[in-house]
């Protein structure tokens, strides 16, 4: 039986756009515009989409690094207690900060250059009740070994490490309070391919050892294919398709996902793939197009797409739940 760890309901993050002498608010960037999403315990949920579609903002909104404008983020503990996170006071958030952690994209800015690794990692441990220095050193040392690094490295400065090593230190930081869910915000995008594989392997191994759940934010669908149990595809602040990762590749429902998948390079010269090239850019999230946000670029768009906003509907492919928001799907909807 799958149990949820996080339930997102109608999460919105709007950033005000200010202009003029008095910084009048002239509009909002609808970075995340109403996302419903369940994340199950122990799964790897991929969150894919092109840059600017709001994936990172959604990840940060879950941790309240960006305050959601609207909507609910519910955390469900192991003994089924539900807590709504967005309405909590700063202080009350602390126990949940321990459970939810994040690994960042850029290994070069994710470590404090003036502190040794131990120096920058020890404060969170201190805050969450590990008083003796020996104990803190032991925890960090053990974790460094868990990510295949030497224990002594904790007394070094970040500039002494390579990108891949820094990223592993970033993982150590996320792990140091024994979290349940880790948001991997493009955790491997800044690394070169051989190191990517190494870090991904490590992440999967840690997941097994520590019963972690990942929300894996990426723009690279070829990475998600092997990694994720389910994949959510985002476009312009909304989820357009959500399904098991196999179904996304074999039974694609949304035209946007189709276009993304067709863009994955295939290492086979004989195989002819039909490449769907999307015209134009992502529309501005300040005033998204009317109707389906994807219709100006959609090769299949019809009249209804221009006027009516599609909602995320449930279908079934291969006997699995498959959500998509498109008017043009001719499968029977499941309630």
Partner 1 sequence: MAKSSLDKKFDQIRKREEEKTFSTKKRSRIVNKFLNNRLAVLGLIIFTIIILASIFAPLLSPYDPMRVDLRSMRQPPSFDHWFGTDSTGRDVFTRVLFGGRVSIFIGLGSAILSAVVGIAVGCYAGYKGGWIDVIALRISEIFMSFPQIILVLLLVSITGQSLFNLMAIFILTGWGGMYRLARARMLSLREEEYVQALRSFGLSTFTICYKHMLPNALSPIMVNITLSTAMFILTEAGLSFLGLGVPLNIPTWGNILNVAQDILILQNYWWMWGPVGIVISVFVLCVNFIGDGLRDSTDPSQQG
Q: Using CB under 8 A as the criterion, which residues of the chain lie in contact with partner 1 when the complex forms?
A: 60, 63, 65, 90, 93-94, 97, 100-102, 104-106, 109-115, 120, 123-124, 127, 152, 155, 157, 159, 170, 173, 177
Please, which residues have CB within 8 angstroms of residue 81's CB and are 6 or more apart in sequence?
none
Tell the smallest beta-carbon distance from residue 302 to partner 1 (Å).
42
- In the complex with partner 1, the residue whose CB is nearer, 70 or 106, is 106
- In the complex with partner 1, the residue whose CB is nearer, 190 or 221, is 190
- In the complex with partner 1, the residue whose CB is nearer, 110 or 257, is 110
Question: In whole angstroms, how far apart are CA 216 and each of 85, 147, 182, 204, 244?
Answer: 20, 18, 8, 11, 14
Tell the smallest beta-carbon distance from residue 237 to partner 1 (Å).
21
Tell the smallest beta-carbon distance from residue 315 to partner 1 (Å).
36
Q: Residue 73 carries which DSSP code?
A: E
Neighbours of 90 (CB within 10 A): 8
- In the complex with partner 1, the residue whose CB is nearer, 29 or 233, is 29
Residue of 179, 192, 283 lying closest to 237 (CA atoms): 283
Please, which residues have CB within 8 angstroms of residue 238's CB and are 6 or more apart in sequence?
33, 34, 35, 293, 325
Please, which residues have CB within 8 angstroms of residue 174's CB and are 6 or more apart in sequence?
101, 102, 103, 182
Cα–Cα dist 243/10, whole Å:
19
Biggest CA pair distance of the chain: 67
Residue 243 pairs with which residues in a beta bridge?
A: 231, 322
- In the complex with partner 1, the residue whose CB is nearer, 144 or 231, is 144
Tell the smallest beta-carbon distance from residue 305 to partner 1 (Å).
37
- In the complex with partner 1, the residue whose CB is nearer, 60 or 238, is 60
- In the complex with partner 1, the residue whose CB is nearer, 113 or 299, is 113
Helix (H, G, I), strand (E, B) or coil at 217: strand
Question: In whole angstroms, how far apart are CA 244 and each of 1, 41, 212, 227, 307?
Answer: 16, 15, 19, 11, 30
């Amino acid at each position: 039986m799958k149990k949820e760890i996080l339930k997102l309901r109608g999460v919105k993050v709007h950033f005000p756009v200010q202009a003029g002498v008095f910084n009048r608010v002239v509009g909002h960037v609808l970075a995340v515009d109403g996302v419903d999403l369940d994340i199950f315990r122990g799964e790897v949920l991929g969150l894919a989409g092109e840059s600017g579609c709001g994936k990172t903002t959604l990840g940060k909104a879950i941790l309240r690094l960006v305050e959601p404008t609207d909507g609910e983020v519910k955390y469900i503990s192991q003994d089924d207690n539900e807590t709504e996170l967005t309405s909590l006071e700063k202080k009350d958030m602390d126990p949940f900060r321990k459970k939810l952690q994040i690994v960042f994209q850029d290994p070069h800015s994710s470590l404090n250059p003036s502190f040794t690794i131990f120096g920058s990692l020890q404060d969170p441990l201190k805050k969450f009740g590990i008083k003796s220095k020996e104990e803190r050193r032991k925890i960090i040392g053990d974790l460094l070994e868990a990510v295949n690094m030497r224990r002594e490295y904790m007394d070094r400065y970040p500039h002494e490490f390579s990108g891949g090593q820094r990223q592993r230190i970033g993982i150590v930081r996320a792990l140091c309070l024994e979290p349940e869910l880790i948001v991997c915000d493009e955790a491997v995008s800044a690394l070169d391919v051989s190191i990517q594989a190494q870090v991904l392997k490590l992440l999967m191994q840690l997941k097994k050892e520590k019963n972690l759940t990942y929300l894996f934010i990426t723009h690279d669908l070829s990475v998600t294919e092997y990694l994720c149990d389910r994949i959510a595809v985002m476009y312009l602040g909304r989820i357009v398709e959500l399904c098991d990762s196999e179904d996304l590749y074999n039974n694609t429902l949304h035209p946007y996902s189709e276009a993304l998948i067709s863009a994955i390079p295939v290492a086979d010269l004989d195989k002819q793939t039909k490449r769907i090239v999307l015209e134009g850019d992502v529309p501005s999230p300040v005033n998204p197009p009317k109707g389906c946000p994807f219709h100006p670029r959609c090769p299949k768009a019809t009249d209804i797409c221009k006027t009516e906003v599609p909602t995320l509907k449930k279908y079934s492919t291969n006997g699995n739940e498959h959500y998509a928001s498109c008017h043009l799907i001719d499968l029977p909807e499941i309630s």
